[in-house]
Amino acid sequence: MDGGGGGLKPMDSEQLREYGHQMVDFVADYYKNIENYPVLSQVEPGYLVKLLPDAAPNQPESLQRVLDDVQSKILPGVTHWQSPNFYAYYPANSSVAGFLGEILSAGINMVGFSWITSPAATELEMIVLDWLGKLLKLPQEFLSSGHGGGVIQGSASEAVLVVLLAARDKTLRMVGKSALGKLVVYGSDQTHSALQKACQIAGIHPENCRLLKTDSSTDYALSPEIVSEAISHDISIGLIPFFLCGTVGTTSSATVDPLYSLAKIAKSNGMWFHVDAAYAGSACICPEYRKYLDGVEEADSFNMNAHKWFLTNFDCSALWVKDRNALIQSLSTNPEFLKNKASQANLVVDYKDWQIPLGRRFRSLKLWMVLRLYGVENLQNYLRNHIELARYFQVCVGQDPRFEALSGMYTLRLVVGAPLTERRHIDAAWKVLQDEAFTLLCSPLQENGNLPKSPPPIGFFGNGFKAEPLPQK
Amino acid sequence: MDGGGGGLKPMDSEQLREYGHQMVDFVADYYKNIENYPVLSQVEPGYLVKLLPDAAPNQPESLQRVLDDVQSKILPGVTHWQSPNFYAYYPANSSVAGFLGEILSAGINMVGFSWITSPAATELEMIVLDWLGKLLKLPQEFLSSGHGGGVIQGSASEAVLVVLLAARDKTLRMVGKSALGKLVVYGSDQTHSALQKACQIAGIHPENCRLLKTDSSTDYALSPEIVSEAISHDISIGLIPFFLCGTVGTTSSATVDPLYSLAKIAKSNGMWFHVDAAYAGSACICPEYRKYLDGVEEADSFNMNAHKWFLTNFDCSALWVKDRNALIQSLSTNPEFLKNKASQANLVVDYKDWQIPLGRRFRSLKLWMVLRLYGVENLQNYLRNHIELARYFQVCVGQDPRFEALSGMYTLRLVVGAPLTERRHIDAAWKVLQDEAFTLLCSPLQENGNLPKSPPPIGFFGNGFKAEPLPQK
């Protein structure tokens, strides 16, 4: 009875086995029935506080009782991101392989801040990000064999923050710390809000975060001319441009910024060029979509979220940099209590110095499992299938004169990315939209003259990627 | 065969069940044999790249093959944080309950940045942090019913960073943005390095991060007199003190800073006072140890890591603030693609605005499971048992004249915190130390006169907490 205090054995291996099986069954049953839930939770704000006690129990409760509560109280408050009918935001894929990786990572439960705290965690991460970097045909400088390398961040927000900090400090080392107020960052009004947040955190003056205007003339891509003009103007008034963010697959419409031209501008002005391919990067492991990354060779850093469209459970945001020392110079600390021989001899990578937090989970396991249990060809076909489903949806829309694709107006947006999505789910989604259009366009309001008799068609965005013919073998 | 591309069914519920059971068995077997592994991984830097292929496989591999690789290639590179013989750093506890919470969270795999993306995730987090806040007897202002509330961060590093940003921006709103270079932060030379890193990130001048000296006269606690003097001096030269960090349980020796006095100094200077109880906070759910938090009533923010010593798998760092709006003002962004009715009507909490990343996992599930499956009394006894084991170790040391407790010299440090640790593991650790002492003190070096004949005893730190008599019922 020793070892847990008062008879509690919190790590008994046979209880872990028994309860673990029960929980796996619970999750498996959830997936079996996932289509029976409304995708969007239907609860009202504050619903849960009415259902749960206001203090933790003094005595233990049974697992069955907790699972009953999960079923009756928690799941109604869940928005089912893994439902095949989920088309919001961008997907956050789960998969059996990703799920298994999470179980194993939680089982080992180590905190891999330094190499010594579990060499396998650091080394597997380096290896798997090299694998993924090769699949994406990233330039050699992004791989671990040179001065760069890959690292798993929790999110694209953290990825853009750490490279912004690296770029900020690199610049300040040249121009002096007191110039912080003069530093300027560039993106577009379609760049993810994470860039703005990173600027806020890093102490960049809010007025020095330039979200340059885009419009339909470039399909909402960043115009190199506008970027050049803005940079020239800022230099002329004594400011210091230091960071440019390009996007492959913007959040609102999956637009691709012109990477080559942007990289050239950044380089000629001594700026850091970051490429955010958080969502769309996954598709670029297919040869026919790799062209959307053309120009990444010239970037300083590149990010894609394996937790979006690559079957790897959240969180797993892959970041590659060409100059890992720039990251380390911004983010390292070296307190007495973390010193060890391997680190001090500079023989190893300590990922604590590549990220915001100190602690980190063993996240490479799940990405490794996804790559091994599915294999590259299956993954490519999985992505192609989603793009094909999105194209199918586009055909549906095109055949109905009440809708039109991609206008500058108020639009609907549908993203295919849930692992379970099949053609029948698209049909169902399309029927909902058609029914709503019928109601909207034939409503009493219109009859009363409050809406134009022939309203403009309802626009929509699909995945943004056009389906490409498969490459010749 | 539709739905996955090329026959791949990445979310088949029956495969999830079958493979999930296999993985749970793998983890259970790992725990069954955990004492057979050396705690510290014995591999050399670069060992893994020699064992794995240099590219991802094109075709899928079997789960069995992957598990074989985990056993033969990954586990030798793991430092076993859950081993009962792990006494390094601070513990990072796993438990059956925490493990189950991770499985469920990975199973649901939603991304809870806004309330609408899964109301249960936000609301359970608020409820469970209220539960834990009440167990710690935090003041009412830290609970969700008022202007404050709790939030789960990934780590104490992120916790101190977000409150530093909130305090920075609150100050800059008063004194103007251009004063960033004048802001000063205070902690001690025993404060966790996360404070320094947070300063680097937030753009605080490195020379304005004051890590004030401590010594044995205060048991390495921050001296209020020294803090007062430093603040007065900084004000006299035109700087702006804005943030003070106190620690309950420092990383090196589990020292407790004098919270009341520090809070008073912070308040009288209009500064934010943060209390970092990342490790030791857990013990304060026991009435007899709650005294170490006295003074937290006057703090602006308080942090403890449930993932350290509270049986909740990594990551789960609980942060409470009194003024949630200060956080939100620093960290919110409101892009078009995240707008929704509940948020815009200000009816709900959107945790994306309380943290660095946008996305977030359903981490409250595991903390909820720990509290429910073990109950408060068991958790208190679990913590008391570890403190008792540390005391037992102290007795061992005290009986051996070759060792002495807590000197100002080079010291050994032993932290009891792994769930599996029993008295026999302490005995084994103590035997290792005694054997080493024998070797050291009777070595040929000493005979050759290179070491003094009566070297000073070897110092040691225990958990830092002195075992207290249990409170009268």
Would you call A358 and B157 a contact, using CB atoms and an 8 Å cutoff? yes
Round to whole Å and give the CA distance between A82 and A75. Answer: 13
Round to whole Å and give the CA distance between A180 and A326. Answer: 17
Residues of chain B with Cβ-Cβ distance to A79 below 8 Å are 110, 116-119
Quick one: pLDDT at residue B468?
A: 60
Quick one: pLDDT at residue B422?
A: 87
Please indicate, yes or no, if residue B92 is contained in any of the structural domains: no
Domains of chain A: total: 3
Does B358 share its domain with B224? Answer: yes
Quick one: pLDDT at residue B416?
A: 84
Does A364 share its domain with A387? Answer: no
Question: SS3 sequence, A459-472?
Answer: EEECCCCCCCCCCC
Quick one: pLDDT at residue B410?
A: 61
Rounded average pLDDT over A223-234: 98
Would you call A61 and B373 a contact, using CB atoms and an 8 Å cutoff? yes
Does A300 share its domain with A393? Answer: no
Are the beta carbons of A385 and B5 closer than 8 angstroms? yes
Rounded average pLDDT over A387-394: 89
Does B364 share its domain with B425? Answer: no
Instruction: Name which of B21, B22, B24, B68 to mutate to probe chain A: the one with the most chain A Cβ atoms within 10 A of its Cβ.
Output: B24
Quick one: pLDDT at residue B401?
A: 83
Q: Cβ–Cβ contacts within 10 Å for residue A115, how many?
A: 25
Would you call A45 and B119 a contact, using CB atoms and an 8 Å cutoff? yes
Instruction: Name which of A145, A373, A413 to mutate to probe chain B: the one with the most chain B Cβ atoms within 10 A of its Cβ.
Output: A373
Pick from B305, B339, B368: which residue ends a domain? Answer: B368
Does B317 share its domain with B173? Answer: yes
Per-residue pLDDT band for B409 (boundaries 50, 70, 90) equals low
Which of A131-135, B56-60, B403-407 has the weakest average pLDDT?
A: B403-407
Are the beta carbons of B110 and B118 closer than 8 angstroms? yes
Please indicate, yes or no, if residue A176 is contained in any of the structural domains: yes
pLDDT at A109 over 80: yes
Per-residue pLDDT band for A447 (boundaries 50, 70, 90) equals very low
Pick from A310, A338, A368: which residue ends a domain? Answer: A368
Which of left, alpha, beta for A89 (phi over 0: left; psi -120 to 50: alpha)?
Answer: left
Quick one: pLDDT at residue B334?
A: 84
Would you call B19 and A420 a contact, using CB atoms and an 8 Å cutoff? no
Where b means 16+ CB within 10 Å and e means fewer, B301-320 reads: bbbbbbbbbbbbbbbbbbbb
Would you call A314 and B104 a contact, using CB atoms and an 8 Å cutoff? no
Would you call A10 and B155 a contact, using CB atoms and an 8 Å cutoff? no
Shortest Cα distance from A138 to chain B (angstroms)? 13
Residues of chain A with Cβ-Cβ distance to B341 below 8 Å are none
Quick one: pLDDT at residue A395?
A: 87
pLDDT at B404 over 80: no
Q: Cβ–Cβ contacts within 10 Å for residue B467, how many?
A: 18
Does A447 share its domain with A343? Answer: no
To the nearest whole percent, how much of chain B has pLDDT over 70? 91
Would you call B202 and A205 a contact, using CB atoms and an 8 Å cutoff? no
Which is it for the CA torsion B351, B357, B362, B367, positive or negative?
Answer: negative
Round the average pLDDT of chain A to a whole number and report it: 90
Residues of chain A with Cβ-Cβ distance to B116 below 8 Å are 40-41, 79
To 10 degrees, what angle do helices A156-175 and B194-202 make?
A: 70
Would you call A4 and B385 a contact, using CB atoms and an 8 Å cutoff? yes
Per-residue pLDDT band for B45 (boundaries 50, 70, 90) equals very high
Please indicate, yes or no, if residue A439 is contained in any of the structural domains: yes
Residues of chain B with Cβ-Cβ distance to A70 below 8 Å are 104
Quick one: pLDDT at residue A434?
A: 86
Does A220 share its domain with A309? Answer: yes
Q: Residue A37: CA atoms inside 13 Å, Cβ hemisphere, count?
A: 27
Residues of chain B with Cβ-Cβ distance to A333 below 8 Å are 193-194, 196-197, 200
Quick one: pLDDT at residue B2?
A: 37
Strands (E), B287-352: 301-305, 317-321
Here the CATH number for the domain that contains residue B17 is: 1.20.1340.10
Domain assignment of residue A228, given as a range: 102-368
Please indicate, yes or no, if residue A114 is contained in any of the structural domains: yes
Per-residue pLDDT band for B362 (boundaries 50, 70, 90) equals very high
ipTM surpassing 0.90: yes
How many pairs of residues across A and B have Cβ atoms under 8 Å apart?
522
Shortest Cα distance from B468 to chain A (angstroms)? 15
To 10 degrees, what angle do helices B364-398 and B119-135 make?
A: 30
Shortest Cα distance from B151 to chain A (angstroms)? 16
Per-residue pLDDT band for B455 (boundaries 50, 70, 90) equals very low
Residues contacting B192, CB < 8 A, separation 6+: A335, B156, B157, B160, B247, B250, B251, B276, B278
Are the beta carbons of A184 and A210 closer than 8 angstroms? yes
Does B358 share its domain with B382? Answer: no
Does A275 share its domain with A417? Answer: no
pLDDT at B361 over 90: yes
Per-residue pLDDT band for B443 (boundaries 50, 70, 90) equals low
Here the CATH number for the domain that contains residue B110 is: 3.40.640.10
Quick one: pLDDT at residue A409?
A: 57
The pLDDT tens digits of the residues spanning A135-151 come to 999 999 999 999 999 99
The residue ranking higher by pLDDT, B463 or B32, is: B32
Please indicate, yes or no, if residue B95 is contained in any of the structural domains: no
* Dmax (CA) of chain A: 80
Rounded average pLDDT over B296-310: 97
Instruction: Name which of A96, A253, A315, A327 to mutate to probe chain B: the one with the most chain B Cβ atoms within 10 A of its Cβ.
Output: A96
Are the beta carbons of B308 and B417 closer than 8 angstroms? yes
Please indicate, yes or no, if residue B472 is contained in any of the structural domains: no
Rounded average pLDDT over B417-435: 86
Would you call B107 and A27 a contact, using CB atoms and an 8 Å cutoff? yes
Residue of B nearest to A1 (CA): B422
| A3 token code pair | 């070892």
Residues of chain B with Cβ-Cβ distance to A209 below 8 Å are none
pLDDT at A37 over 90: yes
Pick from A322, A343, A368: which residue ends a domain? Answer: A368
The pLDDT tens digits of the residues spanning B222-246 come to 999 999 999 999 999 999 999 999 9
Please indicate, yes or no, if residue B276 is contained in any of the structural domains: yes
Does B296 share its domain with B341? Answer: yes
Residues contacting A133, CB < 8 A, separation 6+: A142, A143, A150, A320
Quick one: pLDDT at residue A168?
A: 98
Residues of chain B with Cβ-Cβ distance to A252 below 8 Å are 336-337
Does B390 share its domain with B315? Answer: no
The pLDDT tens digits of the residues spanning B249-299 come to 999 889 999 999 999 999 999 999 999 999 999 999 999 999 999 999 999
Does B356 share its domain with B236? Answer: yes
The pLDDT tens digits of the residues spanning B51-92 come to 999 999 999 999 999 999 999 999 999 999 999 999 988 899
Nearest CB among A84, A375, A421 relative to B60 is that of: A375
Quick one: pLDDT at residue A313?
A: 97
Nearest CB among B66, B82, B356 relative to A201 is that of: B356
Residues of chain A with Cβ-Cβ distance to B5 below 8 Å are 378, 381-386
Quick one: pLDDT at residue B18?
A: 97
Please indicate, yes or no, if residue B388 is contained in any of the structural domains: yes
Would you call B381 and A8 a contact, using CB atoms and an 8 Å cutoff? yes
Residue of B nearest to A13 (CA): B28
Are the beta carbons of B280 and B292 closer than 8 angstroms? yes
Round the average pLDDT of chain B to a whole number and report it: 90
